[in-house]
A and B are shown apart, each in its own frame.
Chain A
Amino acid sequence: MTAPLLSVSHLSAVSTRDGEGAILRDVSLSVARGEVHGIVGESGAGKSTIVKAILGILPRGIRLTGGAIALEERDLLTLDPDKRRHVLGAEVALIPQDPLTALNPGRRIGAQLTDGMRLWRGLSGKAAENRALALLHDVQMREPARVMRAYPHELSGGMRQRVLIAAAFALDPKLVIADEPTTALDVTVQKQILRLIRSLQERHGTGVIFVTHNLGVVAQICDRATLLYMGRVMEQEATATLLERPRHPYTRALIAACPRYDRPGQDLAPIPPDVIAACRAEIASLDRDGASHG
């Protein structure tokens, strides 16, 4: 069997501000080519820390204490910084959560889309512009030529997210990291964006890490998913297995806590305190085991 596209193994991290409190606890996951892998969990579960560790942009207050991150068997954590920047720039792309802050408000869309192509692919100005137009067409943007000349504030939230998806796929990356890309959008726009990411990903055979707190989104776009709680992997399965035959009580409780319009009369079920207590005890015990082996 060939090595996965991305492999995160035994990754651990602590907060240096918070008395070395654990943020990631022995997290392992892998993403195959052409696979959409969900990283799921509530706030504070460690979803964005994993993403930042892959991209090498951890904030100063967080320190990795162990583990490895390999992109096609190149260990990103030990690669020399120049080489790593090159690998990440050319092979990994990010679709961020907030499309407005991710775009430079003072530059036209066309200029922002063509930067990467000229820098990483060495395209001429004209060639890059043509490629950008084709990309905007690919993300089903109406009047791409007009959008090229527009500034970010002239576009709606959904259009800005389309621009960022175009930018993410512009360099034909091997791995795309989508970090809660639809959280700020209306549901009908969210559906269009999910459809778009899935179709581009399938067409290019891209591996995708899809970060979300929404189990509904996981169900519709992810092939497999890793559910995190307090920085620990609670369950990692094919999406259908995770949602239909959850093994961990936390997974079951989280699924039950989602309100569903198709199940009226079903009472809202907050996660029972004893499930949380059991999770914490389990994590504390695993922490102790880890410490005694280390």
Chain B
Amino acid sequence: MADLLIDARGVVVTYAGQRSLSGRRLAPRPVLHGIDLTIGRGETVGIVGESGSGKTTLGRALIGLLRPADGSIRFDGNDIVDLAETAMRPLRRRMQMIFQDPMSSLNPRRTIRSILSDPLLLHAIAADRAGAERRVQAVMERVGLPLALLDRYPHELSGGQRQRVGIARAVVLRPDFVLADEIVSGLDVSTQAQVLKLLGELKRELHLAMAFISHDLSVVRAVCDRVYVLSAGRVVEQGRCEAVFRAPAHAYTRALIDAIPLPVVDADWLTRQPVAAG
């Protein structure tokens, strides 16, 4: 693809060996074994896999929150793996994150206004408080939250409202890339549908590239263009969603898809084993 925003090659992440009870240092534990992944401008890429597959670790590496032991990660042409902090800072605004649990990622002692406007002033996107306020009000309206919530604290909001604040905080900085890590897994289906719909609209309006990490393949199918399937720190399959869901090539992908219970009575589903990949 000509217009890549993110180009990761051979990414290896290793967690330092912990000390065992006897004080001996255990061998470092590799979590990602040489991952190749690309994300085009405006493209939404799903990263799926079960717990321990390394999907969260991969997401964190993509936005420079942790440093790979090997491999390169280019963001708009800059390799961020060995970038100095001063060179990284302007890129940070362009890559934002929406978290799984908005309650733990929003500062409980700040009002929603301060949570949304402080980053605008910090990154000098708004010249002054009045300018920040205008942008904050616009983004609140865009994500469908009443302005009255600006003076509230995170704990006074519902789960769905907090997740909208999380989204507003990420997009108010006009990023090129958003990492969304399991952002709807704690929400009810009706709230989940609202949040996903909003995210889809914002993605188109702002031409956002997105890495969408989820264990829920139905959700991934609904929002992603391409998907990477991770198992034990390796990409076992990747491709356009239509192709992967229509004809999964890898047995693991097939097992993951087959394990999703659909809201349709299917007498054999419980006892059926996934069909081996052909």
Contacts and interface: CB of A to CB of B under 8 A. Distances in A.
Contacts of A190: 259, 261
Contact of A261 (B218, B255, B264, B270): B218
A187 B265 contact: no
Contacts of B200: 268
B242 interface: yes
Contact of B193 (A215, A240, A257): A257
A203 B201 CA distance: 50
A215 B271 CA distance: 18
A181 B152 CA distance: 34
Nearest to B185: A183
Contacts of A219: 261-266
B245 A259 contact: no
Interface string A240-269: 100110000000011101111110100111
Contact of B196 (A216, A239, A240, A259): A259
Contact of B190 (A216, A262, A267, A271): A271
A188 B259 contact: yes
Interface range on chain B (Cβ under 8 Å from partner)? 35 or more
Interface in B240-270: 241-242, 245, 255-257, 259-266, 269-270
A216 B241 CA distance: 21
A217 interface: yes
B255 A188 contact: yes
Interface in A140-198: 157, 186-191, 194-195, 198
Among B193, B261, B264, chain A packs the most CB atoms within 10 A around the CB of B261
Contact of B271 (A195, A240, A253, A269): A195
B218 A259 contact: yes
Given A186-B50, A187-B256, A187-B260, A260 B193 contact: no
A240 B215 contact: no
A216 B263 contact: yes
Contacts of A264: 221-222, 241-242, 245
Interface of A: 42-43, 157, 186-191, 194-195, 198, 213-221, 239-240, 243-244, 253-255, 257-262, 264, 267-271
Given A221-B270, A264-B222, 17 more contacts: A42-B188, A42-B191, A43-B159, A186-B50, A188-B50, A188-B256, A194-B270, A213-B188, A219-B263, A219-B265, A239-B265, A257-B192, A257-B193, A258-B263, A261-B221, A261-B245, A267-B197
29 contacts: A42-B190, A43-B188, A187-B217, A187-B256, A187-B260, A190-B259, A194-B261, A213-B189, A216-B261, A216-B262, A216-B263, A219-B261, A219-B265, A220-B269, A220-B270, A239-B265, A243-B264, A244-B264, A257-B193, A258-B189, A259-B196, A260-B218, A260-B262, A261-B218, A261-B221, A264-B241, A264-B242, A268-B193, A268-B222
